[in-house]
Amino acid sequence: MTDDLLLLGVRHHGPGSARAVRAALDAYRPQAVLIEGPPEADALTALAADPAMRPPVALLAHVVDDPARAAFWPFAEFSPEWVAMRWAAKAGAEVRFIDLPAAHSLAREDAGPPAGDGAPDAAPAPGEGPVRDGGPDPDRAPDSGDAGPGAAPGEGPDPAAEAVSVRIDPLAVLARTAGYDDPERWWEDAVEHRAEGDGDALAPFQAVAEAMAAIRETYGDGGYPQDLPREAHMRLRIREARKAYERTAVVCGAWHVPALATRTAAAADRRLLKGLPKAKVETTWVPWTHRRLARAGGYGAGITSPGWYRHLFTAPDRPVARWMTKVAGLLRDEDLPVSSAHVIEAVRLADALAVMRGRPLAGLGETTDAIRAVMCDGSDVPLTLIQDRLVVGDVLGEVPPDAPAVPLARDLAREQRRLRLKPEALERELELDLRKDTDADRSRLLHRLRLLRIDWGQPVAGRGGKGTFRETWRLRWEPEAAIRVAEAGIWGTTVEAAATARAEDAAVDSAVLAEVTAVAEQCLLAGLSGALPTVMRVLADRAALDADVAHLAAALPALVRAVRYGDVRGTDSAALARVAEGLAQRICVGFPPACVGLDADAAAAMRKHLDEVHRAIALLPAARPEPAGTRGPGSPESAASVTELRERWAGVLRNLAERDGSVPGLLRGAAARLLLDEGRLGAGEAARLMGLALSPGTAPGEAAAWIEGFLAGGGMLLVHDERLLALVDGWLTGVSGEAFTDVLPLLRRTFADFEPGVRRTVGELVRRGPARGTRPAGTAEAGLPGFGPGLDAARAQAAAHTVRLLLGTTTTTDLATATDRTPADGTPGATPTEPGTTDVAPGTPGGTDDDGPR
């Protein structure tokens, strides 16, 4: 290193590095500060000095005509780069970014995976989207290469996959050499936690540079071949700066220091940079959050504890004691009893642990252990809160309004132009016909914006028309909307990507099942197929934990609808079907116990669920054939599992229908009816169940509820199966006078739902039927009340022929069951029923019974 150049090798987002950089810059006082970052952003460095700019912020570079291809360089308050920028602004030094231009790194993307937008951001977890959108390389490579602790996780996925296997983590190598098994801990002990002011401000950088040089001697490029052109570019820029200034400081990842210190021929460097692809790129500042800095937020080179680092960087002294005080404050806000004595003990324990573990200062690990043992009673629950609020932290950055527009705004403007939707302050209504492509796109855009809380359009209840293909929106562009767009820029660079990330986040954050279902529905409306896998996963998780069957039952129909209508274009609707199936399975298990001991209102609510779930399960297989075609193998198996599911549901219904009085009559009746309608219950069986439900042992109210449940599906049943009618009739006449008054409203409600024609027929049958029924029983030919004895095969055949013609041959099954029922059930069933009818029938002159229910 010569006198006119100072190389400061740092770890990105290392508070110790940041302090050291500040001290080194103060000591060296360079005229120019060169920072690892996209040179396109040189013009934006002035904004860093703007008081309205508050870190964490990120430099964003994106391809002009494709905002989805973008890369971010996040800076926190404690980032050495940020410290250097602020220092330079104060000292009046020149700031330049010296990394490979984003124009090259972003252009290189299209050489790899065909589409930069779709593929990379489909897979990652919620909130990851934007950071990775297009350019994982400039974002990740420096960090995994430099002494970034996030190296390991950053190496994993996508584009440069073939290089992964040989990459080394320089930090891990150093840590192993020093006898540490955790690279991060080693770096903390060796660099971040070093006490300040022990002599030469430049010494630590010297040491780090030497260590890195040793590693690079051994490992060469360490598996990062794409670093070579970057370092060549850095060297060229450094050369320029050295010509212009007397003292130049370079802040870059420690990994690059040896490469930048070596003397190479400028021509060789230029050769390396020749022929790189180029794209037109724009840069701007966007606000960032601590959560995104955290590794969990998906920033490949992220840090697990931005809040802790910020604390280390900003705390004037006694960082552990101050940290514990902060933690105590947070726990007190959550109503946990934490006294000053707790804080004292926690600090003592943390210090003692550090001594025992041989560390210079209690680190995050020691403080966390101490907090758990002293303040949290050994529980991890409050710790997650601390982790979330303090260790990661809620800090949100700010960018001055005069920063260049975010790509999201551009994308929105482009969409608005494409769909001819002008943002106007004047309120107006917009009618959309979703069958038209443009209108469908408009609807999707508005729904996406709603997801992003940009309330430009509000859906209005449509005028009159019931059709699902119509939507009415009230549009009004208010000035705040622009701010909302800027805020939403954090979620992504295009409206679609941002809405997807937002939806995923909303799903993950939601507390109850219904919220997730709502998000899922919004995703369908907004056409966000990318968010669905996450939403579905969350949905499955919530369903698993929700103990209330009613919630599950409420969620199922919408889900099945979604599967069935294939509302989601291009989604893995098999996944959707799987979730629906799992939900149905859980309902099957949980339904019978949930039906026990309900009052009338709860039973009514439950019956609604019963009907809905029944319909939904019946619809489920219908959706099968569609995905089967695309999925190929595995579908027969799943079709089988749907059949099994239906059987299981039938079992649940049968269970309900056969249960004793602990299950409300309404539900038992409804279950029996659903089984009967499906043909799973013979008419004889139904009569037996009805007989049971209406037998004298049952309270009249309960029996009436059973009838309500059983007959809710329509009264035609009574017209066609007079045995059932006779049972109802018989029961009704047996009800005592006082009880009758109680039962009346229920029956009224039941019969009022019937079609007038049915009501009349039932009435007529009751009046006339018994007369026929009095015919002595015993002969096999005895007919049902209201019908002639036996079956006149010839006449029936003629009628059946016509019916077949009317219905078409496919529905012969219906015919078969219809014809089956008469001889099969009528003959044996007649014998036991007949005597009852004979007794009762003459005593019912029709009048009261007939009028009563009406």
| Residue 353 touching another protein (CB under 8 A) | yes
Contact yes or no for 633/695 (Cβ under 8 A): no
* Other Cβ atoms closer than 10 A to 661: 12
Which of 273, 482, 518, 540 touches another protein by CB under 8 A?
Answer: 540
Contact yes or no for 26/201 (Cβ under 8 A): yes
Q: Phi then psi for 774, rounded to 5 degrees? A: -70, -15
Which of 195, 381, 511, 547 touches another protein by CB under 8 A?
Answer: 547
| Residue 464 touching another protein (CB under 8 A) | no
Binding segment toward another protein, per CB under 8 A, in 18-26, 49-57, 346-354, 816-824:
346-354
Closest by CA position to 411, among listed 664, 837, 65: 65
Contact yes or no for 769/776 (Cβ under 8 A): no
Binding segment toward another protein, per CB under 8 A, in 192-200, 215-223, 363-371, 450-458:
363-371
As measured in angstroms, the least distance from the Cβ of 665 to another protein is 22
| Residue 502 touching another protein (CB under 8 A) | no
Binding segment toward another protein, per CB under 8 A, in 269-277, 352-360, 569-577, 775-783:
352-360
As measured in angstroms, the least distance from the Cβ of 370 to another protein is 8
* Other Cβ atoms closer than 10 A to 147: 26
Contact yes or no for 20/201 (Cβ under 8 A): yes
Which of 270, 278, 332, 348 touches another protein by CB under 8 A?
Answer: 348
As measured in angstroms, the least distance from the Cβ of 624 to another protein is 17
| 379 vs 797, beta carbon nearer another protein | 379
| Residue 541 touching another protein (CB under 8 A) | yes
3-state secondary structure of 61: strand
If phi > 0 it is left, if psi is from -120 to 50 it is alpha, else beta; for residue 333 that is alpha
Question: How far is residue 555's CA from residue 536's CA, in Å, rounded to a whole number?
Answer: 12
Residue 626 corresponds to which amino acid? E
| 329 vs 828, beta carbon nearer another protein | 329
H/E segment holding residue 472: strand 470-475
Q: 457-460 and 428-433: which strand pairing? A: unpaired
Which of 200, 377, 429, 781 touches another protein by CB under 8 A?
Answer: 377
| Residue 609 touching another protein (CB under 8 A) | no
Token couple for 151:
């190296």
As measured in angstroms, the least distance from the Cβ of 545 to another protein is 6
| Residue 352 touching another protein (CB under 8 A) | yes
Contact yes or no for 9/251 (Cβ under 8 A): no
| Residue 345 touching another protein (CB under 8 A) | yes
Site string for another protein, 413-452 (x = CB under 8 A): ----------------------------------------
H/E segment holding residue 7: strand 5-10
Beta-bridge mates of residue 8:
251
User: Between residue 656 and residue 685, which ones bind another protein under the rule CB under 8 A?
Assistant: none
DSSP 148: -
* Other Cβ atoms closer than 10 A to 388: 16
**Count of residues touching another protein (by CB under 8 A):** 34
Which of 50, 110, 369, 849 touches another protein by CB under 8 A?
Answer: 369
Question: How far is residue 161's CA from residue 173's CA, in Å, rounded to a whole number?
Answer: 22
Strands (E), 232-297: 248-253, 281-287
What's the angle, vertex CA 380, arms to CA 379 and CA 386, rounded to 5?
120
| 358 vs 808, beta carbon nearer another protein | 358
Which of 111, 195, 267, 356 touches another protein by CB under 8 A?
Answer: 356
Q: Residue-wise over 81-106: b if at least 16 C-beta within 10 A, else e?
A: bbbbbbbbbeeebbbbbbbbbbbbbb
Token couple for 852:
């009563």
| 18 vs 587, beta carbon nearer another protein | 587
| Residue 349 touching another protein (CB under 8 A) | yes
Beta-bridge mates of residue 287:
57
As measured in angstroms, the least distance from the Cβ of 191 to another protein is 23
| 24 vs 543, beta carbon nearer another protein | 543
Site string for another protein, 94-133 (x = CB under 8 A): ----------------------------------------
As measured in angstroms, the least distance from the Cβ of 518 to another protein is 20
| 291 vs 342, beta carbon nearer another protein | 342
| 511 vs 794, beta carbon nearer another protein | 511
| Residue 611 touching another protein (CB under 8 A) | no
| 111 vs 341, beta carbon nearer another protein | 341
As measured in angstroms, the least distance from the Cβ of 353 to another protein is 5
H/E segment holding residue 51: none
As measured in angstroms, the least distance from the Cβ of 652 to another protein is 12
DSSP 621: G
Q: Phi then psi for 72, rounded to 5 degrees? A: -120, 145
Token couple for 607:
């019956």
Binding segment toward another protein, per CB under 8 A, in 251-259, 378-386, 420-428, 737-745:
378-386
3-state secondary structure of 832: helix
Q: Where do runs of H (alpha helix) occur along 43-160?
A: 45-48, 80-91, 102-108, 118-122, 129-132, 136-145, 151-155
| 341 vs 805, beta carbon nearer another protein | 341
Binding segment toward another protein, per CB under 8 A, in 79-87, 223-231, 353-361, 418-426:
353-361
Closest by CA position to 7, among listed 264, 294, 213: 213
| Residue 640 touching another protein (CB under 8 A) | no
| Residue 633 touching another protein (CB under 8 A) | no
Contact yes or no for 192/21 (Cβ under 8 A): no
Which of 32, 131, 190, 370 touches another protein by CB under 8 A?
Answer: 370
Site string for another protein, 560-599 (x = CB under 8 A): ----------------------x--xx-xxx--x------
| Residue 613 touching another protein (CB under 8 A) | no
Residue by residue, DSSP assigns 718-745 as: HHH-HHHHHHHHHHHHHS-HHHHHHHHH
Which of 10, 376, 391, 830 touches another protein by CB under 8 A?
Answer: 376
| Residue 341 touching another protein (CB under 8 A) | yes
| Residue 182 touching another protein (CB under 8 A) | no
| 100 vs 371, beta carbon nearer another protein | 371
* Other Cβ atoms closer than 10 A to 261: 18
Question: How far is residue 484's CA from residue 604's CA, in Å, rounded to a whole number?
Answer: 44
| Residue 342 touching another protein (CB under 8 A) | yes
What is the chain's alpha carbon radius of gyration, rounded to the nearest angstrom? 37
**Residues 6+ positions from 255 with CB-CB distance below 8 Å:** 9, 142, 145, 146, 147, 170, 212, 216, 222, 227
* Other Cβ atoms closer than 10 A to 512: 13
Which of 21, 208, 279, 374 touches another protein by CB under 8 A?
Answer: 374
| Residue 153 touching another protein (CB under 8 A) | no
Beta-bridge mates of residue 59:
73, 285
| Residue 357 touching another protein (CB under 8 A) | yes
Which of 339, 438, 797, 811 touches another protein by CB under 8 A?
Answer: 339
As measured in angstroms, the least distance from the Cβ of 348 to another protein is 6
| Residue 461 touching another protein (CB under 8 A) | no
| Residues found near another protein in the complex (CB under 8 A) | 337, 339, 341-342, 345, 348-349, 352-353, 356-357, 365, 369-370, 372-374, 376-380, 540-541, 544-545, 547, 582, 585-586, 588-590, 593
